[in-house]
Structures are given as structure tokens and as C-alpha cells.
Amino acid sequence: MESSTTTPTGQAAPSHEQIADWLDERQGRFIGIANEIWEHPEIGMAEYTACRIQADDLAADGFEITRNVGDMPTAFMASWSQGEGGPIIGFLGEYDALPGLSQDRTDTQHPIVPGGDGHGCGHNLLGTASLAAASVMKAWLQRTGLPGTVRYYGCPDEEAGDGKVFMARAGAFADLDLAITWHPGSINAVSASSSLAVNSIRYRFRGRTAHAAGNPETGRSALDAVELMNIGVNYLREHVIDQARMHYVITNGGGAPNVVPDDAEVWYFLRAPWRYQLDEITERVHKIAEGAALMTETTLEEKFLSGTYNMLPNTVIGDRLHAALEALGPIDFTEEEHAFARTIVDAFPPSLRESLIAKRELPPELVNDALNGDVWPPQGVGEVGSGSTDVSDVSWNTPTAQINTATWALAVPGHSWAVTATGGMSIGHKGMLHAAKAMAIAASDFYRDPALVNAAREEFERETAGRKYVSPVPAHIPPPGPSRAS
């Protein structure tokens, strides 16, 4: 896979194949961690079991543990260093589950706890593979004697887009030379697209109650203010960039039709391809909210919950990750695993699967496949994805790239029972170990070659073009509690 390197220990550096072998030899440890987290699903900011399991494992492995990162009880950082002057490489992990996605390890929908939480996005695998990559890189550095620091970040509440934002605000990623991460999926590929920056804001209006029929003239309707604000924002849609997104729910509209509501609230997500574009749109929405309050003679309270930047995928790191995936080759799924996945995909309409395959720009004939372990070209090059992620805030602090590997059936929806099912059995475990191998192999190249680290940094400097990262969340706003994530 690669040429040998003479190390300070006088030995050749362990090869890419040996790194993969080391992970296979330790797979029982990592599968055990992933399964225990899968069996104890916890929503964002309440991942106490997952955080403890991972922190304890890495502490026993010799890592120094920093807890309560960013004032979040379920955020931690594990670090191990050797020598001086080597690169600091971070692996990003997540472990939050989703409400309502409890599911047994079966190929038909069967919740363990009806309405309960479940790992419908595969984060039990996500955090564990990154932990595994960090652990094997520590062993690799010890063997080679090369200088360097390995970091693992236990990041809470990705689903609400919060954890890494508050960790970044606390400076947790500021000294990294680069960051590597991944996300469970249905194919093996580098994720090369950008994402939408997002703000999450609640607008609350307060007015005056009155009898809606007897003396409506004395009332000042907070609900009218909400509705007028929404009308204004809907007219604004014509005058923003095409890729902007503005969506909302009315969280409180009053208690009874015959009472003029004195308290009403609407919750908005505002998105745009670049942070500066989002800032401009957010200011315009703020003015509309102020106008709605003026028209209804109500008062406005604006509560900024969270926000993220747009993703900056680093192609230097992405190219090394793709090379690692190519060298590893496809995931070898068994006939039994294919049959398990076939039963799952048959539970979803073919038209839905066709649309998901088309959205990924994959060959349409894949609609007939249930499981795919092949390596695909980088996905979304030069494109802006429709979603948002708090990995983006890391990418504005340090060069960052990520991959997907196949941990669930091909072209089934994310955030579904189908993802929970495979995340607790061999399909998910194989994809998890594959991701760990690819991340570790790529990281070893950067530890051995300072020129690669410099190239990644130079690209980062060009992409940020002197724009300094400023946390989108004001300093006075504390991290949310678990109630909002639920």
C-alpha cells in the first residue's frame, strides 16, 4: 500500500495493512463499546452512559481525559502525546440517539420500547470508530517513536447541531493541525460537499388578553404577531438567494379561540450556504419580527438557541481518506447480511429508494441492490448539501474532512428504524471497523509526512481567506439541557 518509513526506533513504520490488522485484532473491544451504547440510547446532552463508557475506555488505554468541555457534562476530550513538534490530529466522535426510533436487532420494524429512543443515525458506531482510530494511532506512534499528539473528542448533541459549536466556542479545536471524522451511511465514499450554515431562533411575542367576541378591541394578540411575522418571512423568500432556507413551527399559539392570546411563539431555522449570507438573512428576519410587534402593539423577545457555520471540506485530507478506502477495498458482506438488508429495503417503497439513489447521483440500477460495500468516488464535490452539521464549526477552526461507510441498507432513509436495526448487528459493525481503518491509515500518512500537514493547512488558509472564526453563539448563552433535544 505504501513505502516503508524508517522511524526513530530504527524500525520500519507499521504498514497500512498492519494498521488494519491491529484494528481487526482489537475489534471485540470496539464492537463491545458500540453495542453497549446501542443498548443504552440517550438523547443529546443526556449521553451520560456513552460518555462514561468511552472516557473510561480511553483512560484505561493511557489517554489523558478532560471532562465537561464547553461546560457540557457529556463532552470530553482524550489526548495522548509523544515527543515534541509532531502534528496534533483529532478524531471527532458522537454518541447521541434520536427519540422515537427504538428498534430491535431484527429486519422488520419492532421497537424494543414503543416510542423509545434509538440510534437511528448510527452514532453508537460513529463515536466508537473514531475512538478506535485514535487508539490504534496511539499504538502506531508508540511503535514508530514519531512525535505527535492523538486526540479523541466525545461530542454531544449533534442532532440538535449544538455540541461541537460550544466546544469550538471554548477553544477545544484551536490547536489542532487537522481533524478527521466520518458518518455512518449506505456507501463507502469521502463526503466532499459543503453544508448550509444555520441559526436556530425562537421569537416570542407578548400582548394582552381579552374576550375575543365581547371586547376584542381591548386585546393585543401575540398570535397575530406570529402570523404576521410568518407572512412577512414568506414574502421574503422571493428576495433571498435560491439556496437559502427558512422554516418554522408555531410552538405556542394560545389556549382557546375565544381568548385573545397574550403569549405566542414561533421557532425558526434559517439556513444559507455561507455564514455571512446567513447573518444578512437573519437580520432581515429580525426586522420582520420587529415589524410584526409594531403592527400588533406587542413586545418581542428573541432567543438565539444555536447556530453553525457551513462546512469547508479539505481536499488534501479527503484525498488521503479516499486513497485509504481504495486500498482497503470493498466491505465483504455475507449472504446472510445481504438477506437481512433485503428484507429491510423491501419495507420501503421503490420510488422512495429511487429518489434517494438519484439524489446521491448513484447508478439507478442500484435500486435492485439491498447492500453495497463498494468504494465510490468522493460525493458532492463542489456542491452544497441541503442539511447542516456542527462538524462545520470544526472545519473553520482546522482543516477537516470526513467519510461515509456502509453501515445500513442501501438507500433507506436516515433517522429511521432501518438504521437502528443494522447499527446493532454485524452490518453496522463491519462498516464501523472499515471507517476506523480508513481514518487511521490516512492519519498515519500525516504523522509521517509534515508536507501533507502543511498542504492541508495551506488549503485551509485559502478557503477561509482571512475570515476568522467567530462563534455563532453569543458568549452569554449556555449550552442547552437535554429537554430541548428531546
Q: Are residues 40 and 187 in the same domain?
A: yes
Q: Are residues 189 and 74 in the same domain?
A: yes
474 in a structural domain? no
CATH of the domain at 222: 3.30.70.360
CATH of the domain at 456: 3.40.630.10
Q: Are residues 352 and 419 in the same domain?
A: yes
Q: What is the pLDDT of residue 10?
A: 65
Q: Would you report the helix, strand and coil content of the chain in percent, each value rounded to 5? A: 40, 20, 40
Q: What is the pLDDT of residue 272?
A: 98
- Which own/partner pairs from 210-215 qualify as long-range (CB within 8 Å, at least 24 positions apart)? 210/259, 210/260, 211/258, 211/259, 211/260, 212/257, 212/258, 212/259, 212/260, 213/258
478 in a structural domain? no
3 in a structural domain? no
Q: Which residues pair with 80 in a beta bridge?
A: 150
Rounded to the nearest 5°, which phi and psi values hold at 5? -125, 130
| Neighbouring C-alpha atoms within 13 Å toward the C-beta of 263 | 3
Q: Among 148, 174, 144, which residue's Cα sits nearest to residue 77?
A: 174
In total, how many domains does the chain have?
2
Q: What is the pLDDT of residue 305?
A: 92
Q: Are residues 460 and 331 in the same domain?
A: yes
* pTM for the model: 0.93
- Name the grid cell of 333: 458482506
What is the separation, in whole angstroms, between the first and last Cα of the chain? 46
Q: Are residues 35 and 123 in the same domain?
A: yes
Q: Among 444, 419, 433, which residue's Cα sits nearest to residue 102?
A: 419
Q: Are residues 248 and 209 in the same domain?
A: yes
Domain boundary among 267, 289, 308: 308
Q: What is the pLDDT of residue 359?
A: 86
Domain boundary among 289, 308, 327: 308
Contact 211, 221 (CB under 8 A): no
Q: Are residues 261 and 359 in the same domain?
A: no
Q: Are residues 458 and 444 in the same domain?
A: yes
How many Cβ atoms sit within 10 Å of the Cβ of residue 369? 20
458 in a structural domain? yes
156 in a structural domain? yes
Contact 313, 394 (CB under 8 A): no
Within its chain, how far is the Cα of 1 from the centroid?
A: 30
335 Cβ contact list (under 8 Å, min separation 6):
none
Cell 420494524 appears where?
Answer: 109
Contact 134, 78 (CB under 8 A): yes
8 in a structural domain? no
Q: Are residues 59 and 182 in the same domain?
A: yes
Q: Which residues of the chain have pLDDT under 50?
A: 1, 3, 484-486
Contact 313, 191 (CB under 8 A): yes
Q: Are residues 343 and 214 in the same domain?
A: no
- Name the grid cell of 315: 481536499
480 in a structural domain? no
Q: Are residues 48 and 146 in the same domain?
A: yes
Domain boundary among 308, 343, 364: 308
Q: What is the pLDDT of residue 11?
A: 67
336 Cβ contact list (under 8 Å, min separation 6):
none
For 91-103, give one letter per residue: b (16+ CB within 10 A) or e: bbbbbbbbbebbb
Contact 173, 167 (CB under 8 A): yes
370 in a structural domain? yes
In angstroms, rounded to a whole number, what is the distance separating the alpha carbons of residues 119 and 374? 24
In angstroms, rounded to a whole number, what is the distance separating the alpha carbons of residues 166 and 172? 9
Cell 447521483 appears where?
Answer: 361
454 Cβ contact list (under 8 Å, min separation 6):
none
Q: Are residues 406 and 432 in the same domain?
A: yes
In angstroms, rounded to a whole number, what is the distance separating the alpha carbons of residues 105 and 83? 45
**Domain range for 218:** 197-308
Within its chain, how far is the Cα of 427 from the centroid?
A: 21
